[in-house]
Structure 1
């Protein structure tokens, strides 16, 4: 959802669920999530966003996400790394006792690769049933250029850095690549199929475009 506040366009990810009150969350990168009760009208959501407009803009401007330079990673107990969309301390992700920096780097990368494989395989099982497709193989890769790919042989590949993204963003990449099994091009049929499973897929694309440069080791 896009809302104009003081002549500035902001994008919000709206999530509906079983809850009594509407709430607005802004993560450490400035990504805005609105959690609303099921059935809440768009007019009500916009009204609440506008009422919090000053706070939202101040928070976003303070974060300065779009221009932020990724900080050098600190490989010690309290070093912070993204995992499934949330910053976690290094010691929460891997064993760190008496290990040197190079070993920690290797072990953390292995953790992301293994975690990505587990999460991707789980999400593929969910969405391949909905899309009625059957991928031949799933591979976890390292890439600076793409988040996922699908070959004409139905082989899927996913960037291990996806383990740093929120689950709904991972779901988008999974759905995107599964849809390529029947639609190898990005034509209208392809995007209609993606949208039939994830109507707000453009918001997930926007997340990757805006924060992908921060999802690094």
Structure 2
């Protein structure tokens, strides 16, 4: 991890050198994750000078995330909260029960229903319900992801070795050189067409392990508006979270 100091703010950044890239790219993601992707031939001193020259832009991006974060307060998983799933929001009903010792969570008639012990603390309730909710996303989402993947695999004639739904901190999906696709469960909070785009994005990497013109041309055969969907994920990354 490297760092610079700009306007009394410490900016940490990491360097990811790749043999298949020609240009240097600086990526800023929430929360304050700055990554420089560069060709392997570029030395660290040159990259550091570049980051210094882009300090103002990087700090502005970080502040943009902070502003968006204040506009999108976190879900506390209390009675009346609205839980996102497939682009819609469903009310969470929480009832405190005296005769139970474990939290439970179900999805019934377009709403989430949770039962928690009567004397549970707010922090413990949040931790337990979040764990149950993520497990629900993983269970239900895995079924949906596999169904949607089958559709687009047939259209593209591209079939992964495996597909796994899990949490990823900095990406919506990844594809390994062995043909394993990993999808961030948080994408399940987005509308279905966005989920489909992420799946197509990763499927196309089975043929092109890069973001070349040929790669995007293949993506556009399914989603001509892929740029709009890509921008949706960038603009709504803070909303797609619990």
Provide TM-score, normalisation by structure 2. 0.59
- Verify: 1:74 aligned to 2:76, yes or no: yes
Residues 130, 213 of structure 1: alpha-carbon distance in 2 compared, 3 angstrom cutoff? same
- Verify: 1:150 aligned to 2:178, yes or no: no
Q: Which residue of 1 aligns with 2:231?
A: 206
Paired residues of 2:84 and 2:189 also in contact (CA < 8 A): yes
- Unaligned runs of 5+ residues in structure 1 are 1-65
- Verify: 1:83 aligned to 2:108, yes or no: no
Cα deviation, 1:128-162, whole Å, max 9, x if unaligned, reads: 00000111101111112000011111100000101
Shifted more, 74-83 versus 164-173: the winner is 74-83
What is the correspondence of 1:1-217 to structure 2 with a 5 Å cutoff?
67=68, 69=70, 70-91=72-93, 92=110, 94-99=112-117, 100=120, 101=125, 102-217=127-242
Greater strand fraction, Structure 1 or Structure 2: 2
Provide TM-score, normalisation by structure 1. 0.66
Residues 168, 205 of structure 1: alpha-carbon distance in 2 compared, 3 angstrom cutoff? same
Greater helix fraction, Structure 1 or Structure 2: 1
- Unaligned runs of 5+ residues in structure 2 are 1-66, 94-109
Distance (whole Å) between structure 1 residues aligned to residue 158 and residue 169 of structure 2: 27
Paired residues of 2:68 and 2:238 also in contact (CA < 8 A): no
Paired residues of 2:86 and 2:188 also in contact (CA < 8 A): yes
Paired residues of 1:94 and 1:108 also in contact (CA < 8 A): no
Give the superposition deviation at 1:94: 3.9
Q: Per the alignment, in what secondary structure is the counterpart of residue 158 of structure 1?
A: strand
Give the superposition deviation at 1:80: 1.2
Q: Per the alignment, in what secondary structure is the counterpart of residue 153 of structure 2?
A: helix
Instruction: Note the aligned Cα RMSD (angstroms).
Output: 1.6
